[in-house]
Structure 1
Amino acid sequence: MAGLMNVFDDIRLADEEIFQTIASSESVRIERIISNGQASPEGFYYDQDEYEFVLLLKGEAVLSFDDSGSVRLKEGDYLIIEPHRKHRVEYTSKPAIWLCVFYR
């Protein structure tokens, strides 16, 4: 099948997280993120204009929110982060593979 790809192909581990846009339109962006033990810088919180559907495909991670504490994710866990809900990455395993869908 032409165009067939696999989200687990070409997994490279690096000192920095790897962000890869899989597909996008005016209102939706789908990214694969490969983490290798990274966390957000101390005191930094993401504050995004769009919704974010987060699915952890492989590994483990901990996200924290400025309004409600932390959540530990394991393989297969997902959540939706509302616009402007401040959050940060506290921990990622080596590796952690995410599928994130940003939408308006």
Structure 2
Amino acid sequence: MPNLFAELPATAAVDEQFREILQRPGLRIERIVSTGQSSPPDFWYDQPQGEWVLVVQGEAKLRFADEAEARHLRAGDYVDIPPHCRHRVEWTPAGQITIWLAVHYD
């Protein structure tokens, strides 16, 4: 996949699509494609590594456990998530492709 916009799923895909772009010691870059998915109720990511995410296309609501409201991210918005910062995807719009670029680092 030499292009972030290549091989996109149908807008009604059942599962999110995760595609690793690059992996090196202490670094992993992946493309995530959402088409209406969100984290399961009461589920929180709690990752041992940091994660920098960029919404390349579409939009999403990203919720942090220590914040009262979800952050509404749109194309071009990015956030750096420190290790063990509990977070979840509250919403991605159904019928629309949301493309994330995620950089996981130690």
Classify the TM-score, shorter chain: over 0.9
In the alignment, what sits opposite 1:102? 104
- Percent identical among aligned pairs is 46
1:97 partner letter: I
Specify the SS of the correspondent of 1:6: coil
Aligned partners of 1:92 and 1:57: how far apart in 2?
13
Map 1:1-104 onto structure 2 (within 5 A). Answer: 5-13=2-10, 14-69=13-68, 70-93=70-93, 94-104=96-106
Shift of 1:26: 1.6
For 2:3 and 2:97, locate their aligned partners in 1 and report how far apart those are by CA, in whole Å: 17
Gaps of 5+ in 1: none
Aligned length: 101
Per the TM alignment, residue 27 of structure 1 is displaced from its structure 2 partner at its CA by: 0.4
Please tell me the root mean square deviation across aligned C-alpha atoms, in Å.
1.1
Give the secondary-structure state (helix, strand or coil) at the position aligned to 1:33.
strand
Structure 2 unaligned segments of length 5 or more: list them. Answer: none
CA positional deviation for 1:96: 0.6
Q: TM-score, normalised by structure 1?
A: 0.93
